[in-house]
Structures are given as C-alpha cells and as structure tokens.
Amino acid sequence: MLHALALNCTLKPSPSESSGDLLAQQVLDALAPHGVEGEIVRVVDFDVKPGVEADMGDGDEWPAIREKVMAADILVFATPTWMGHMSSVAQRVLERLDAELSETDDEGRPILAGKVAVVAVVGNEDGAHAIIADAYQGLGDVGFSIPSQGGVYWNGEAMHTTDYKDLPETPEKVASTTQTLARHAAHLAKVLAEQPYPAP
C-alpha cells in the first residue's frame, strides 16, 4: 500500500476548523480506493523554524515532519489563498524542502525524485492558478513529480466570507477534479515505485 502525507498550510492552529483540512481530507479519501493510505499534518501546530536546512536546531520541529515526508509516496500540498498568494506557512515548507536538493539516494538520484506531489488550494479570492503554478515549480525543483492535472482548488466569491468548509455540499467540479487528481497521482506513484528514474 502507498502512503500519502497531506501538509495543511493553514494559518489557523488546531483545533480551529480549516477549509484546507477539508479539501486535503477529500484528496486523501479519493486516493484511498487506489490503494493509498494517508494522514494530515497541520504545519502551524509545530515550531517550524525559518531556514533552508533539514534541521535548524533550537527546538525546530521540522525534522519530525521531514521524516513523514520521506516516508510518503505522495505529498498533498494544501494551502489557503491570502492576498493572492499561498500562505506564509506554505512558503516556509517550500523553503525547508530546499534542503533536500543536496540529498541523494544510494544510487545518486535526488532523494525526492521517486515521490509525487499534488496541490490543493482554497480561498475567498482569486489567486489559485498562480499559487498552483508557484507550488508546482518549487515542488518540481526539489525533486517531486507532478502528475497530469495534479491540482485542485476552490475560489469563493470575492469580498465575501463564505469558506469552503461552510458549503452545504462539495461543488461537482471540485469533486470530479479531486477524483482525477487522485487517480493520476496514485498511478504515477505506482509507476515510479516500479520503475524509478535512472541513476546518474
């Protein structure tokens, strides 16, 4: 069985309700029929220090999250939209993942090269397409593979306060996109597990 880790980059610490948690869980639920188990980590609940090293010391709690990233086959990168951009927590996660650029496996491949990443974005304003593009670039740079149609998002009406978690039901387009994302992510993860990228 494959394993997925969803990093919810909401700015709201637990136990506050989070739309990012909801969409991330929907992605995990869609992955389950394809032989993928998963868990969600709310990054803001941990003391993740700024920096670009695997361990910034002084109580840094990123190393524990990093272990989960390394154990996962699929990363679900979930972020809200704030002022048209990904959250500062999401940006910090990308910065911390930058440390993996210098890490390789026993055959010299980038350590993240066998892993898949998908992106989920929620917000009450425009910006999801740009956020997904930025996330794709960062995740791809550090070694993740992005599947076809590997992003899902929901934008609420501009200047209004309805959140994704407050909707009476999941919009059909979001639900169908989530299913496609999960199907493609699971397929790519299985392909990479059976046929890794060639070693240098």
167 CB-side CA count, 13 A:
20
Residue 97 CA to residue 65 CA, distance in Å, equals 11
Residue 109 CA to residue 88 CA, distance in Å, equals 30
User: Residues 6 or more apart from 86 whose CB is under 8 A from it?
Assistant: 9, 79, 80, 121, 131, 134, 135
Q: Is the peptide bond before 147 cis (omega within 30 degrees of 0)?
A: no
pLDDT at 169 over 80: yes
Mapping DSSP to helix (H, G, I), strand (E, B) and coil, where does residue 118 land?
strand
Q: What is the pLDDT of residue 161?
A: 84
pLDDT digits (tens, 9 = 90+) for 23-49: 999 999 999 999 999 999 999 999 999
pLDDT at 173 over 80: yes
Identify the burial level of 170 via C-beta atoms within 10 angstroms of its C-beta, where 0-12 means exposed, 13-18 middle and 19 or more buried.
middle
Could you tell me whether strands 74-82 and 85-86 are parallel, antiparallel, or unpaired per DSSP bridges? antiparallel
Q: What is the pLDDT of residue 84?
A: 93
Q: What is the pLDDT of residue 125?
A: 87
Tell me the pLDDT band of 127, cut-offs 50, 70 and 90.
Answer: very high
> What's the pTM?
0.97
Q: What is the pLDDT of residue 159?
A: 77
